[in-house]
Homo-oligomer: A and B are copies of this chain.
Amino acid sequence: MSEEVATGERKRRARGGGGAARRAERTAPRFDSAPVIVRKTPTLDILNDEALAIIEANAETVLEEIGVVFAENPGALERWRAAGADVRGERVHIPRGLARELCKTAPSSFTHHARNPERSVEIGGNNLVFAPVYGPPFVRDLDGVRRYATIEDFRTFVKLGYMSKWVHLSGGTLCEPTDVPVNKRHLDMLHAHMTLSDKPYMGAVTDKDWAADCVEMSKILFGAEFVDQNAVMTSLVNINSPLTFDSVMMGTLETYAAANQACIVSPFIVGGAMAPVSVAGTLTQVLAEVMAGVAYSQLVRKGAPVIFGAFVTSIDMNSGAPTFGTPEATQITLGAGQLARRMGLPFRSSGAFTGSKLPDAQAGYESANSLQMGMNAGVNFMLHACGWLEGGLVSSFEKFVLDADQLGTVHKFAAGVAIDENAQAMDALREVGPGGHYLGCAHTQANFKDAFWRSEVLDYKPYETWFEEGARDSSTLANVRVRKLLGQYEAPAMDPAVREAIEAFVARRKAEMPDAYS
């Protein structure tokens, strides 16, 4: 079913028939977004209860004996002291059980609201939502040139995300808009998310004042009261692994948690560098770090929504390069999912990771391995689900649509297997019998439209047709699709007054600050 047809059907159902429906169809956004995935397939639990208990006990030992550093953050140390931790200098020793106890006030699930209520997402439980690539300074553009990213590239990614049926969030720093002063990028980025898409977005994290700007802009969009009571941003707070919580990231966490906005508390680990070279050792550190960070969020504001994050890659011990789609990262991610579920917290991990420089076979293998890992790990919030290239240095338009298309396979797989009478298909087996074929039988006619997932970008053509059309590889086909989508883009409707207010805020804040470039 094409995106356009799906949109039409949904709108008709939603708004009733007749002239009103036809008018709605003409003005409705042309691009449909699939609902949040409610996973009906099992997780792949690779650790048994004994192993999990050992890792949990070791994590408590890490917190108590080794402790964690909250750097340049007297307020945080004071909060920890008051909560009962043993604070020595900047090092916080957390008595066994305290962090886990503090984590209990974090919700097991929360709603991340979008300005279009149909696109709000529930994060937690068996749900899985997809957000695009986050953070690269470079893009690989549609002419195949690798160069620094610009705000125009950023806007292009917002548009692609908005038009991607299987992607739930507009995301955060889709690429670094390096042509905008570093202290003003968050304003332009949030403006793009707010105006060019109606999907949920993420806030700035590299300065607490910029985080505060994001809260203010969100209050304009959603209303101040709504924002205080509801999460309208889920933002990415990385831990400076091993065991260090720097004041920039914690300042952001404090700002968002105080404003009741969601944060992902995420160890950022290149295995063997920021964590031990073993799976069990890395999981121990990840758990200790997440427990400390989540506990701290609850010291700032009890009940603030927060996600158990784990960004984990392996490393090429020859070159020191991070490697992706590898078995060790998969094992760690599956194990981290088990630990998160035992804590009753939403889980963030995975993505369409690759170290490849191009959207080639390596990118395909590694990204598919990573996506499968996320699905089987019970990830609730998947960042970097599309567009990631070159170990996170590059955002790629072509990779974006290739990955976004693959996310459809996750949607379909996670829906599970029907076993009702229609699915049993005994009538079809009886009708066709030995030696027949099912293409024309009644059961096939009734069910074929939804029976098989179909790619919107990969090649399924006969060899001769494919050859005559230029023998195009996936990267070339993706380039064609990006150009086609961008030609079809239409911005979602928006109240002009709200838009003006947002733009006035951006203009005022830009005028208040001198340009900074680092």
**Footprint of B on A, CB under 8 Å?**
41-42, 44-47, 50-51, 54-55, 58, 61-62, 65-69, 91, 146, 240, 242-244, 271-282, 284-285, 314-321, 323, 325-328, 330-331, 335, 355-369, 372, 376, 390, 393, 399, 402, 406, 409-410, 412-413, 416-419, 422-426, 428-430, 432-439, 443-444, 447-449, 451-455, 458-463, 466-467, 471, 473-475, 478
Chain A to chain B: the 5 pairs with minimum beta-carbon distance, closest first: A364-B364, A281-B425, A368-B368, A327-B413, A276-B425
Q: With a CB–CB cut-off of 8 A, which chain B residues contact A452?
A: 271-272, 277, 314-317, 323, 326, 328
A280 and B326 form a contact (CB under 8 A): no
A280 and B444 form a contact (CB under 8 A): no
Supply 20 further A-B pairs (C-beta < 8 A) apart from A42-B45, A67-B434: A62-B429, A65-B430, A69-B435, A242-B434, A243-B433, A243-B435, A244-B435, A277-B438, A280-B419, A282-B425, A285-B429, A316-B460, A326-B412, A330-B413, A361-B478, A362-B458, A364-B365, A364-B366, A365-B365, A369-B409
- A289 to B, closest residue via Cβ: B434
Contact of A423 with B279 at beta-carbon distance under 8 Å, contacts A356-B459, A361-B473, A363-B361 already known: yes
Q: With a CB–CB cut-off of 8 A, which chain B residues contact A376?
A: 44, 376
Report which of B55, B272, B355 forms a contact with A444, defined as CB distance below 8 A. B272
Q: With a CB–CB cut-off of 8 A, which chain B residues contact A432?
A: 242
Contact of A278 with B327 at beta-carbon distance under 8 Å, contacts A68-B434, A272-B451, A461-B321 already known: no
- A52 to B, closest residue via Cβ: B419
B323 and A460 form a contact (CB under 8 A): yes
A443 and B331 form a contact (CB under 8 A): no
A365 and B362 form a contact (CB under 8 A): no
B448 and A277 form a contact (CB under 8 A): yes
Report which of B240, B418, B434, B448 forms a contact with A91, defined as CB distance below 8 A. B434
A20 to B339: give the CA distance in the assembly, Å. 52
Contact of A364 with B357 at beta-carbon distance under 8 Å, contacts A243-B433, A376-B376, A435-B243 already known: no
A83 to B406: give the CA distance in the assembly, Å. 49
Contact of A402 with B278 at beta-carbon distance under 8 Å, contacts A272-B448, A360-B474, A451-B271 already known: no
A347 to B69: give the CA distance in the assembly, Å. 51
Minimum Cβ distance to chain B for residue A315 (Å): 6
Q: With a CB–CB cut-off of 8 A, which chain B residues contact A409?
A: 325-327, 369
Contact of A418 with B360 at beta-carbon distance under 8 Å, contacts A316-B452, A326-B452 already known: no
Minimum Cβ distance to chain B for residue A481 (Å): 12
Minimum Cβ distance to chain B for residue A282 (Å): 8
B475 and A51 form a contact (CB under 8 A): no
Q: With a CB–CB cut-off of 8 A, which chain B residues contact A416?
A: 46, 331
Minimum Cβ distance to chain B for residue A411 (Å): 8
Minimum Cβ distance to chain B for residue A321 (Å): 5
Provide 7 A-B residue pairs closer than 8 Å at the C-beta atoms, listed in order of the A residue: A55-B424, A281-B428, A319-B461, A321-B461, A328-B412, A357-B466, A361-B363
A197 to B285: give the CA distance in the assembly, Å. 46
A233 to B363: give the CA distance in the assembly, Å. 36
B361 and A402 form a contact (CB under 8 A): yes
Q: With a CB–CB cut-off of 8 A, which chain B residues contact A330?
A: 413
Most B CB atoms within 10 A — which of A365, A393, A406, A447?
A365
Q: With a CB–CB cut-off of 8 A, which chain B residues contact A390?
A: 463
Minimum Cβ distance to chain B for residue A254 (Å): 20
- A138 to B, closest residue via Cβ: B463
A87 to B240: give the CA distance in the assembly, Å. 72
- A280 to B, closest residue via Cβ: B423
B47 and A44 form a contact (CB under 8 A): no
Minimum Cβ distance to chain B for residue A139 (Å): 13
A247 to B426: give the CA distance in the assembly, Å. 27
A402 to B366: give the CA distance in the assembly, Å. 12
